[in-house]
Amino acid sequence: MASRTTRPGPATGTRDGSRRRRLPMRLLLPSLVLVALMAMLMLRGYVHSEILADHRVQPPAATDRVPEQILKGGPVIDTRSGRTTSLRVPDHRLVLTFDDGPDPVWTPRVLDVLKEHDAHAVFFVTGTMTSRYPDLVKRMVDEGHEVGLHTFNHPDLSYQSKQRIDWELSQNQLAISGAAGIRTSLFRPPYSSFAHAMDNKSWPVTDYIGARGYITVVNNTDSEDWQRPGVDEIIRRATPPDGKGAIVLMHDSGGDRSQTVAALDRFLPDLKAQGYEFDSLTEALDAPSAHTQVTGLDRWKGKAWVFLVQASERITDVLVVGLAVIGFLVISRFVLMLLLSSIHARRVRRRDFSWGPPVTEPVSVLVPAYNEAKCIENTVRSLMASEHPIEVVVVDDGSGDGTARIVEAMGLPNVRVVRQLNAGKPAALNRGLANARYDIVVMMDGDTVFEPATVRELVQPFGDPSVGAVAGNAKVGNRDSLIGAWQHIEYVMGFNLDRRMYDILRCMPTIPGAVGAFRRSALERVGGMSDDTLAEDTDITMAMHRDGWRVVYAENARAWTEAPETVQQLWSQRYRWSYGTMQAIWKHRKALVERGPSGRFGRVGLPLVSLFMVLAPLLAPLIDVFLLYGIVFGPTQKTIGAWLGVLAIQAVCAAYAFRLDRERMTHLISLPLQQILYRQLMYVVLLQSWITALTGGRLRWQKLRRTGVVEAPGGGVPRPRAPHDGADQRPVG
């Protein structure tokens, strides 16, 4: 294994002279991406009235504090500059008003009818809908209609504080400014009615809003179109008596408005024939326009707001698609694993199952080792207990801790040490292959121990002459910590169920470096181990498939490996794995268009590996992002139910995998926590791997610190952990 000096992360000085570590970019960048996604979801929730929405409606109250001229006055209320006046629309003039829009379906149809009959109207738009559909508001203004504020989130303002009222108005104006480049002085309160319905709760709000420079517009003719009473009834209710002028309340949003559109198409020409004019409010009152142009910084603020809302809508749509994709991938993978792994287990466990004639000839076991002084003795002694005849070739890859001397000092028969300058794991394996005596070669890591039956079980599939490589069953030996338990679940559930599935599909992507076997002739045909990627085990496996060899899984060939014990070490390992897998996929991409065995692997194996090992883990955090969003903003019960459903499917798969491997179920207690926390770590790893790949960076091997505590079940008592201090880092010789 190629060495790498681990450099400390970036640090900055502090006043007391100490060094303050900065957050590594590998953590900072994914964290920023997650924060940005959550911010987009929050913004979407805000403009969809899922956040800060208040749907309470004030019941009627007393009216003794409402001025008489307001209660008996017209529907236009002006309390600006200390005035308390109301206005009515002149006779034979109708001001059609539409609330709660714009709506992407019904507002364009309303505008089309108004344009066809040369009529103007007033649209009281909400900030939420304006932010989402700014082009419709711009069309309103461009076609001569007036727009007015209807608050941002449509709350009953009599329940709100002055600060919240100001916020509702300013956000509503901001959205209109961004959409159409104007400000408006018209306002209609949500849930408003006629002027005589003003009471002691709503009047102070109207008075305050007037002080902020707005004219309040209620109505004196209600079509009640929201009830969908029928076209004839809408027309009857919207028609004022005796040629009176009126402000007519209609809606262009909030549900099916087909009756409203149909009623307008008859209402407009009929009343025009009776001498009515359909004007905007200021046209009907012969007053200056309610619109003023917005320029400069305010205009750009509005545009920025609309841009962010539109971005949040698009990003959220993409996230929803991503969630659907990851949901499909997760379910599909679990279904395939359960189905195909059960087929695999039944097939290889039949009493009459055989790979072919028993393989009894000796095999060569290659052990590449770089600074494995703590582990190498356990590794070699476990091989000496093998039930199958073997020779052991330990390739010391320039170790500085006396690894080679430890093996030589053991003085064991059939164990040879080959020394080389540090050149990396692929070079060490190729050196071992050149020194191997036998036609079947077993490869393992220097921190792994075999059971006595492992080599025998691993080489039996070579009784089938079409088999070129065999993957063993790698298991976590140090599972006593939480991180170790999580990796134990991952190895049993993910790796081994996956290998059963890929075995049936004949597209096994990886022979694990901890326990694998190869035909020497097959290795030589594909050029031996390559250092083109950081995942040489995945690279060689894909090369074997493309060369026409069958790669299978031997479930009883168990090897016990020491998994990383800290988050930093786990991150380093998985970063290398994921980046190396991407490199291998890219290296063998031509298999997609080739014929024969290579093409079959390219069109079956590569897509499955890309979907299940690269894309799915990258998208998996979306499950947790939407879980958090759903818990906070709803629908909470459905969200939790969906998440628990996915977890239940995972638990079933995990339990089945543990049963197949005859493992105790107690470790599955930590499965829910693993799914929440472990997924984020894998997301960080994969995102960094993508960034490294896209930027053309090159990740090198990173040596993990080992403790040497792993032994096969039934072996000797594990040695106590050595203290992590400077003393245990010194070379032996």
The average pLDDT across 78-83 equals: 89
pLDDT at residue 301 is higher than 90: yes
The answer to whether the beta carbons of residues 182 and 54 sit under 8 Å apart is no
pLDDT at residue 47 is higher than 60: yes
pLDDT of 3 reads 38
The answer to whether the beta carbons of residues 367 and 428 sit under 8 Å apart is no
Return all residues near 705 (Cβ < 8 A) that are at least 6 apart. 569, 724
pLDDT of 306 reads 94
> How does residue 711 score in pLDDT terms, banded at 50, 70 and 90?
low
Q: Could you tell me whether strands 85-87 and 76-78 are parallel, antiparallel, or unpaired per DSSP bridges?
A: antiparallel
pLDDT of 705 reads 53
- Main-chain phi, psi angles of 421, to 5 degrees: -65, 155
Helix, strand and coil percent figures for the chain, each rounded to 5: 50, 15, 35
Share of the chain above pLDDT 90, in %: 62
Q: Residue for token digits 């107690």?
A: 666
- Quick check: helix, strand or coil at residue 183? strand
Residue 292 buriedness (CB in 10 A; 0-12 / 13-18 / 19+): exposed
The average pLDDT across 450-479 equals: 94
Strand partners, 361: none
Share of the chain above pLDDT 70, in %: 90
- Quick check: helix, strand or coil at residue 410? helix
The answer to whether the beta carbons of residues 278 and 120 sit under 8 Å apart is yes
Catalytic residues: 99, 251
Distance CA 474, CA 516 (A): 9
Tens digits of residue pLDDT in 543-595: 999 999 999 999 999 999 988 888 888 878 888 888 889 899 999 999 999 99
pLDDT at residue 11 is higher than 50: no
Q: Which residue has the higher pLDDT, 112 or 492?
A: 112
- Quick check: helix, strand or coil at residue 73? coil
Distance CA 98, CA 111 (A): 11
pLDDT at residue 732 is higher than 60: no
Task: State the Cα angle at 584 between 580 and 590, rounded to 5°.
Answer: 160
| Helix residue ranges, H only, 443-490 | 454-459, 482-489
The answer to whether the beta carbons of residues 217 and 243 sit under 8 Å apart is no
Position 31, amino acid: S
> How does residue 279 score in pLDDT terms, banded at 50, 70 and 90?
very high
Q: Could you tell me whether strands 76-78 and 215-217 are parallel, antiparallel, or unpaired per DSSP bridges?
A: antiparallel
Cis omega (within 30 of 0) for bond into 362: no
Angle between helices 679-694 and 567-587 (to 10 degrees): 50
Strand partners, 584: none
Tally Cβ neighbours within 10 Å of residue 593: 10
Tens digits of residue pLDDT in 644-672: 888 888 888 889 989 988 888 888 888 88
pLDDT of 7 reads 39
Q: Which two tokens stand for residue 695?
A: 């930027």
Q: Which of 392, 388, 385 is nearest to 361 (CA)?
A: 388
- Main-chain phi, psi angles of 181, to 5 degrees: 75, 25
Query: Radius of gyration over alpha carbons of the chain, in Å?
Result: 37
Q: Residue for token digits 């190869």?
A: 518
pLDDT of 670 reads 84
The average pLDDT across 627-631 equals: 77
pLDDT of 718 reads 37
CA atoms within 13 A on the CB side of 443: 27
pLDDT at residue 15 is higher than 80: no
Q: Which of 387, 391, 488, 452 is nearest to 715 (CA)?
A: 452
Return all residues near 146 (Cβ < 8 A) that are at least 6 apart. 120, 121, 122, 123, 140, 184, 186, 280, 281, 282, 289, 290, 291
Tens digits of residue pLDDT in 87-121: 999 999 999 999 999 999 999 999 999 999 999 99
- DSSP secondary structure string, 526-589? TTS---SSS-HHHHHHHHHHHTT-EEEEEEEEEEEE----SHHHHHHHHHHHHHHHHHHHHHTG
Tens digits of residue pLDDT in 146-166: 999 999 999 999 999 999 999
Report how far apart, in Å, the C-alpha atoms of 43 and of each of 307, 311, 622, 640, 663 are: 12, 10, 17, 22, 46
Among 65-74, 460-469, 637-646, the minimum mean pLDDT is found in 637-646
pLDDT at residue 230 is higher than 90: yes
- Quick check: helix, strand or coil at residue 593? coil
pLDDT at residue 503 is higher than 90: yes
pLDDT of 572 reads 80
Torsion, CA 65, CA 66, CA 69, CA 73, rounded to 10: -160
Q: Which of 555, 610, 576 is nearest to 703 (CA)?
A: 576
